Amino acid sequence: MAPADETLDEIPRRRVLYGRRKGRRLRPGQSRLVAEYLPKFEILDLPESVFLSPRDLFPSEIDETWLEIGFGAGEHMLAQAEANERVGFIGCEPFFNGVVQLISGMHDRGVENIRIYRDDARLLLARLPNASVARAFVLFPDPWPKTRHHKRRIVSKPVLDQLHRILKPDAELRIATDDPGYLDWILQHVIGHGGFDWLARRPADWREKPDDWPDSRYETKARLAGRSCAYLRLVSRTKSIDR
């Protein structure tokens, strides 16, 4: 573990989570699987005075670390982990039933290069070292459409500040949404932030996703419902941003 950088923004000291954390009751088989399998892959305790080294989370050597915030039922991250066996994946998801779906998929497909954090993602972001993540995903986050709830949106300056800090220079940040209002919000915050370059040069660059972007259950439902999805690919600028 590396020493914490004293120049970091104030570290969140408490979790801030909205919405449900648990849904349907688990079946007996799911409960047994979680009890046996989840402890092997869960990140439980974050260090107080040092950074959490992502490489220390994986018993086998990894080439790089990727991060997904809000992985839902885990379809995207599971497919990425299968396709990139030398990458260590860290996934944040407070909704327990989604974690159960991911654990079930990992067990069935023999995937072990994923680690799971079941709490406020901002707490984990604040404990990852500078320039330690090679790619990050924020896919179809809750748009919180009511104006009074906009402060709950995960795409915000504090979160973008932390993502910019932990991403390596020229690392890719992928954000997706099917909500037009949230898309405007995301673009305003990302472009106004100054730490990221949007890779789109034509409409097809954000209306169509690259071949290495697996579908998720939510994304499929959105398209079947006739909603258009936006796929944003950004890279972290090497220059420092103004605080």
The residues spanned by each domain of the chain are 28-236
Q: What is the pLDDT of residue 27?
A: 80
Contact, 105 vs 34, CB < 8 A? no
pLDDT for the residue 22? 55
Residues in the chain: 243
Look at residue 29 and tell me whether its pLDDT is greater than 70.
yes
Tell me the average pLDDT of the chain. Answer: 89
| Residue 9 predicted with pLDDT over 50 | no
**Do residues 116 and 125 lie in contact, with contact meaning Cβ atoms separated by under 8 Å?**
no
pLDDT of res. 108: 96
Mean pLDDT of 12-20: 49
Q: How confident is the model at residue 8 (pLDDT cuts 50, 70, 90)?
A: very low
Rounded average pLDDT over 168-184: 98
- What average pLDDT score do residues 4-20 get? 45
Report the pLDDT value the prediction gives residue 16, as an integer from 0 to 100.
Answer: 52
Query: Is the per-residue pLDDT at 208 higher than 60?
Result: yes
Q: Which pLDDT tens digit goes with each residue over 115-144?
A: 999 999 999 999 999 999 999 999 999 999
Residue that wins the pLDDT comparison between 33 and 21: 33
Order of strands, sheet of 196-198, starting from the edge strand that comes earlier in the sequence? 114-117, 87-92, 64-69, 133-139, 167-177, 230-236, 196-198
What are the catalytic residues?
Answer: 142
The domain made up of 28-236 has a fold known as Rossmann fold (3.40.50)
Long-range contacts of 206-214 (CB under 8 A, 24+ apart): 206/230, 206/231, 206/232, 206/233, 207/231, 209/176, 212/80, 212/83, 213/76, 213/174, 214/75, 214/76, 214/79, 214/80, 214/83
pTM metric for this prediction: 0.88
Give the pLDDT confidence score for residue 171 in this predicted structure.
98
pLDDT digits (tens, 9 = 90+) for 93-120: 999 999 999 999 999 999 999 999 999 9
pLDDT computed for residue 239 by the predictor = 54
Q: State the Cα torsion 103-104-106-109 to the nearest 10°.
A: 180
